Amino acid sequence: MEREGNDCVMPHNSNMTLLNDDVDDDQTTNLRSTFWLDRVGEVILTFNSNGLSWKLVESLGNVATEIKLSDVYAVELTDQGLVHISNIPHATEHLLLGHEKKMYRFTVHGFTRSRSQPSQMILAEYTFGHGNLQTCQMWVNQLSASLNLEVERPKNLLVFVHPRSGKGTGCRTWEAVAPIFSRAKVETKVIVTERAGQAFEVMSSIKNKELNSYDGVVAVGGDGFFNEILNGFLSPRLKAPNPPTPPDFLHLVKDNGDSLVLDEKETVEETSNDSEDQFPLISNLEQSGSRISYSCSEDMDPEFPVPNERFRFGIIPSGSTDAIVICTTGVRDPITSALQIVLGKRVKLDIAQVVRWKTTPTSEVDPYVRYAASFSGYGFYGDVITESEKYRWMGPKRYDYAGTMVFLRHRSYEAEISYLDVESDETNFTSKRNRHGSLLRALRAPHKPERYICRVNCKVCNEKPDLTTTGVSGLTPHLCSEKRWVRSKGRFLSVGAAVISCRNEKAPDGLVADAHLSDGLLHLILIRDCPHASYLWHLTQLSRRGGSPLNFKFVEHHKTPAFTFTSSGTESVWNLDGEIFQAHQLSAQVFRGLVCMFASGPEV
């Protein structure tokens, strides 16, 4: 029997038999006993290496119900109490007054999948009753010992709660899922933040010795709150080279020995609305994987490596959009996120490094490094986040209002973007389609390219990088492979760089439907100035499941490991994972699978 929710209470009966089978070849003990299953009846319960299964003692059929051990997150011995029996033999019905009996009980806590949303996990409890306390205790001990062998499951977590995230439900969200952690015997140190930047300060100042005592960090909040924690973790611990830049960008970026330097002979291809001319390129980069160095900074404990396979991050959604959670778990549900954390799920996530060189056109060069896990956006995206700050009292609805106001203004910005072109059939197809496809053909999209969506056990994300061309651990893919810089210049309504698909409730397929969690590529989306109606059509396609928001003549979509940006105006505001980021000139690159998340990816 499968129960939704956590209100199941189980009964018990003393007339039971216990059978201990021989030890299997895999050294896992098989147990078989007769129990009373709450709200079901008398069942034969069997336990083996795969999990639990049970079937009614007296049944017309031979139908068994089971729960896999991997779907069980806790087991506990409960107090002696009543077990409700809903299906018992007629001959014994008079023996159980009101179909209830007082028994010793133990409860198995697990989950089932939602029928309408496969990615959503629903709490399930199964309470078994028996007349003998030692029998219940033996089953609890055996199940607990088996669960303890699940080494991926965390034992100690640091939890940050944002009390004002989203609709201000951060504390209530944590209170709702906290029992899951306590039942699973996961120790949690909970910090409820009192001001902006507090989580960053704690993560950046915590000693590595203490950080090593945790199996991971959990953020109860939105994408912006997770970004704060992520930056607090990476900023003092990750020593990474500066992003690569085209030759004419280097007069601002002085090589400090870590940055990746291009061959001065390399030329740059320019593209614009007015010209499709291409200049010859020399794909000869003075970049070697041996020059890439990842280590802890000198003033930190060197025993905490980055990347770190053991240490994982979790997010329990309580924000306004929660795009990272939707992309990594498949659903915006605190229960599902909590279960994936306590079950020790694991998926790698790309992280973008964004280096701001100048804040304004007249400012001094002062490099400032930030990291993003989902999206960096300029123009429309920067204007929306700036406008929304005026209406924080509205809660999440402020983004709808701000988006409408910014759309009506229809402002475009002069800028120049250069990106590393990755030589692949898919990228070439996308570039040609964006340059030469007609608006009518794009809107009708009669021959859409096949999209490989990122799912559980994704082949793209699990593909091992070629270490002969990607350097250390494959964190910087394509940087040493054959490529060229391409320049795009003109007036843009928006410039966006998506690390993941960025699916959310308003964009069910995300900004880029076939973006992956860990393929080492950014999706650079350039929206050139266009008529108001055309831009509205593009936004409408974003809001539709199965839409084609990228199939417009004024939209450029490029997969790239790195890009640079320079604004031609005086204003330059970026949206970095939901946070305001002032940057007149910046460079960015992506690190493949830099961090691990407590998640498994969306279900099919």
Q: What are φ and ψ of residue 565, in 5° steps?
A: -140, 135
Q: What are φ and ψ of residue 290, in 5° steps?
A: -70, -20
Q: Which helix (H) or strand (E) holds 560?
A: strand 555-560
AA letter at 369: V
Contact 45, 33 (CB under 8 A): yes
Here the tokens at position 82 are 């009543």
Please tell me the distance from the alpha carbon of residue 596 to that of residue 207, in angstroms, as a whole number: 20
Q: What are φ and ψ of residue 547, in 5° steps?
A: -75, 175
Here the tokens at position 457 are 């056990």
Please tell me the distance from the alpha carbon of residue 113 to that of residue 122, in angstroms, as a whole number: 6
Contact 161, 191 (CB under 8 A): yes
Q: Which positions are annotated as active-site residues? A: 223
CA-nearest of 348, 337, 10 to 181 is 337
Contact 469, 353 (CB under 8 A): no
Identify each DSSP E strand in 99-168 by its residue range.
100-113, 121-130, 156-161
Contact 188, 213 (CB under 8 A): no
Please tell me the distance from the alpha carbon of residue 276 to that of residue 271, in angstroms, as a whole number: 6
DSSP 516: -
268-271/483-498 β-pairing: parallel
Query: Buried b vs exposed e over 323-361: b needs ≥16 C-beta within 10 Å?
Result: bbbbbbbbbbbbbbbbbbbbbbbebbbbbbbbbbbbbee
Scanning the structure block, which residue is given the tokens 């120049």?
416
**Virtual CA dihedral for 127, 128, 129, 133, nearest 10 degrees?**
-100
Contact 349, 598 (CB under 8 A): no
Here the tokens at position 391 are 């209406």
CA-nearest of 301, 306, 308, 311 to 208 is 301
